[in-house]
Structure 1
Amino acid sequence: MFLAWKEVIYNKLKFSLIIGVLVLVGYLLFLVSGLSNGLMNMNREALDKWNGDAIVITEESNQNLAQSMIAADEIDGEFNKKAGIKNTAVIVSKGDVKQNALLFGISKDEFLKPNIIEGDMFIDTFDVVADDTLKEKGYKVGDTLDLAGTDDTLTITGFTDRSKYNAAPILYGSGKTVDMLTNNRTKDKVNAFVVKDSNYMNVALDDDLQVVGTESFIKKLPGYTEQKLTLDFMSYFLFAISAFIIGIFLYVITIQKAPIYGLLKAQGISNAFLARSVLFQTLILAVIAVLFALGLTVLTASFLPPVVPIMFDWKMIAIYGITLIITALIGGLFSINSVRKVDPLKQIG
């Protein structure tokens, strides 16, 4: 450990280059992780806040909420707790500011009611509680929203936090509001039921209905799984790249230090001692790089605008950091064989 650290201190420039490359890899990895969590969270925020165990939806809808339609009294008594939900897509505007949104019709007396962070719960038809991301676009409590394709308007009575579905902000209103905007197509019906019942798999339903666990339902959201796999593969490739980079750098440095290793071996220093020194050196470089990358990531996140969907899972960041260090150590193993092959007699001449 002492030999490894002294060499790092002595050759600051050379090892700073290795640390710099690893910092960039770690920085990109942590940012990708934060963006991945942010994007995934935008798809599932509302579902997570509902805290339901499962969703009851029609079989033929292919787990698409907008394509499902169920009679409001279809499953009375089958589950411990259930709440019907109506859904329609809308385009709202205030002046020149337009926004795609999803209007969810719910009962304000059931567990789906949103948490109000500003203003009040909706009361009358065409009153809505909006996701707080609309505040960032200039909307405020009391605003009247024009609706594309109709003369009807919505009034924002309050804001709720973290309420998006499939990356679109949600407007919560009464079921009657959705009925009016869909020409009563949803009257006495709902698009789905959110249920709270850990025993939901054992409930018998009509053949045209299916009950889907919340996590399974989320994975079927359009684009959710594809986005997650894409970003996960980016992370895996970054790990492989970091191992490749550290392996090349340390191999080159090892070749350059062959005369030194030859001299140390001639003095009785064992291959095992030199191998440990290389690994300790790699560990030092990787830990420093991960800490710098983490600090740079936190600093960058503090300057990003709110519209950038970044959210850090610090437990996952810690796992990524440790994995990056382990990956660097694996890369360092490539140079150990070169150390073992150094012939002290040839190097001394």
Structure 2
Amino acid sequence: MILAWKEIKKNKARFIILGFIIFLVSFLTFMISGLSNGLSKDNASLIKDLPDGHFYMNADAEENYLASKIDKKIEGNVLAENKQASVLAIQMGFINDDQDKQHSVAFVAAAHSPFFEEVGKGEVILDRSLKDEGVKIGDKVKNKQYSKELIVKGFADHKKFSHAPAAFIHREDYKEIFKGTEMQLIFIPELVEAPSITGLQSFTNDEFLSTIPSYSAEQMSLNMISWFLIVISGMLFTIFFYMMNVQKIGLYGILKAIGMKTRSLFVMMWSQMMIITLASLGISVLLSQALETVAPEGLPFYLPAKTSFQFSLVFIAVGFIGATLSGIQIKKVEPLKAIQQGEG
């Protein structure tokens, strides 16, 4: 450790440049991860806030909840056998407020459920984001397919689907708006193993989210960018320490000649890697957590400390692997040849 620190002080510029690059890469990774988590909540908080369980949709729907229709007999049997089960339907649509301003919403009709807002006929509960747009409790909102008006009875916190605020309506109102009598999904919470139900296909919460095209495509793209940046950081460590080791072949030969073991040389290199990585990651984590605090309300950014810690461990592991790969040449150094090469 002492030798490692002395070399860092001697070659400050090189190690500061490496640390700055690692800081930029890790900070960008944390930013993208926070954006990914934020978009995930903004896209599907309606589903993500539910307890672990299983969703069921019609097997003929081919994993498309919009095409799913639950037969009423099957619905009745499932609700009779599972007291915690609930049925629901989700459809995208529009409402017009009392100023005739149009808002895109995700209409949600649910029954027999403590996990979804249940309202009376002719009423609606909206996601709180619509309150910020001027909608108030007691307002009457309209939909072109609905013959009457819906009265706003309240607001729900962080209930969105496909980036649209949820609008919870009564099952009968849903039938009138969308001209259908069947619900689309059955949700049964706290199931370790999903029982087989004839005609229905089961999905865990995460599996159901992956069937939503906008959600899976969005998350896959952002996750690929994050992991690509982590791979880049590993390559940076490998290239940097490789170049450093090439320049220090003569020094390694002298150190080996006076009795220093190869393991000690690796420890010196690993110590340098840890010092640079921890310093860079420390600054990145602090700035990314501060960003979550000061981020504008409309920015979908969410970065829990657990995620930052997990990514930090990955960066350290990647840095360790990169430094180790670059140091393979140290093991092959022969003292006499290395000293002669250094003198040349």
Q: Give the TM-score, by structure 1 length.
A: 0.83
Contact (CA 8 Å) 1:122, 1:158: kept in 2 or not? no
Contact (CA 8 Å) 1:246, 1:328: kept in 2 or not? yes
User: Residue 180 of structure 2 is aligned with which of 171, 177, 186?
Assistant: 186
Q: What are the ranges of 5 or more consecutive residues in structure 2 without an aligned counterpart? A: none
| Residue 157 of structure 2 is aligned to residue 161 of structure 1 | yes
User: Residue 94 of structure 2 is aligned with which of 81, 91, 96?
Assistant: 91
Partners of 1:192 and 1:243 lie apart in 2 by 44
Identity %: 23
| CA deviation after TM superposition for structure 1 residue 319, in Å | 2.0
User: Residue 272 of structure 2 is aligned with which of 237, 261, 281?
Assistant: 281
Seen in structure 2, the aligned counterparts of structure 1 residues 136 and 17 have a Cα distance that, compared at 3 Å, is farther
Partners of 1:93 and 1:159 lie apart in 2 by 16
Seen in structure 2, the aligned counterparts of structure 1 residues 234 and 284 have a Cα distance that, compared at 3 Å, is same
Report the 3-state secondary structure (helix = DSSP H, G, I; strand = E; otherwise coil) of the residue aligned with 2:88: strand
Match of 1:113 in 2: 116
Name the amino acid aligned to 1:198: L
Contact (CA 8 Å) 1:262, 1:348: kept in 2 or not? no
| Deviations 1:58-77 (CA, angstroms, capped at 9, x unpaired) | 22222333322334454324
Contact (CA 8 Å) 2:42, 2:161: kept in 1 or not? yes
Match of 1:117 in 2: none
Partners of 2:9 and 2:137 lie apart in 1 by 59
User: Residue 191 of structure 2 is aligned with which of 179, 185, 198?
Assistant: 198
Seen in structure 2, the aligned counterparts of structure 1 residues 339 and 157 have a Cα distance that, compared at 3 Å, is same
Contact (CA 8 Å) 1:80, 1:197: kept in 2 or not? no
1:273-312 matches, within 5 Å, as 273-312=264-303
Match of 2:339 in 1: 344
Contact (CA 8 Å) 1:72, 1:84: kept in 2 or not? no
Contact (CA 8 Å) 2:238, 2:325: kept in 1 or not? yes
Report the 3-state secondary structure (helix = DSSP H, G, I; strand = E; otherwise coil) of the residue aligned with 2:213: coil
| CA deviation after TM superposition for structure 1 residue 152, in Å | 4.6
Name the amino acid aligned to 2:169: G
User: Residue 232 of structure 1 is aligned with which of 214, 217, 223?
Assistant: 223
Name the amino acid aligned to 2:113: E
Give the number of aligned pairs: 336
Report the 3-state secondary structure (helix = DSSP H, G, I; strand = E; otherwise coil) of the residue aligned with 1:70: coil
Seen in structure 2, the aligned counterparts of structure 1 residues 203 and 141 have a Cα distance that, compared at 3 Å, is same
Contact (CA 8 Å) 2:51, 2:190: kept in 1 or not? no
Tell me which moved more, 273-282 or 42-51: 42-51
Contact (CA 8 Å) 2:53, 2:190: kept in 1 or not? yes
Partners of 1:285 and 1:41 lie apart in 2 by 34
| Deviations 1:59-100 (CA, angstroms, capped at 9, x unpaired) | 222233332233445432433122222333222244475431
Seen in structure 2, the aligned counterparts of structure 1 residues 336 and 190 have a Cα distance that, compared at 3 Å, is closer
Contact (CA 8 Å) 2:289, 2:303: kept in 1 or not? no
| Deviations 1:108-151 (CA, angstroms, capped at 9, x unpaired) | x632333xxxxxx74451x2111123234443433433435667
Partners of 2:248 and 2:190 lie apart in 1 by 66
Match of 2:58 in 1: 58
Match of 1:15 in 2: 15
Partners of 2:95 and 2:258 lie apart in 1 by 79
| CA deviation after TM superposition for structure 1 residue 324, in Å | 0.5
User: Residue 221 of structure 1 is aligned with which of 198, 212, 219?
Assistant: 212
Match of 1:100 in 2: 104
Match of 2:125 in 1: 129
| Residue 28 of structure 2 is aligned to residue 24 of structure 1 | no
Match of 1:321 in 2: 312
Contact (CA 8 Å) 2:146, 2:176: kept in 1 or not? no
Partners of 2:263 and 2:196 lie apart in 1 by 63
Name the amino acid aligned to 1:276: V
Report the 3-state secondary structure (helix = DSSP H, G, I; strand = E; otherwise coil) of the residue aligned with 1:190: coil
| CA deviation after TM superposition for structure 1 residue 191, in Å | 2.5
Contact (CA 8 Å) 1:90, 1:148: kept in 2 or not? no
Name the amino acid aligned to 2:124: V
Contact (CA 8 Å) 1:54, 1:196: kept in 2 or not? yes
Name the amino acid aligned to 2:300: P
Match of 2:49 in 1: 49
Contact (CA 8 Å) 2:86, 2:187: kept in 1 or not? yes
Contact (CA 8 Å) 2:241, 2:323: kept in 1 or not? yes
The CA RMSD measured in Å over matched residues stands at 2.9
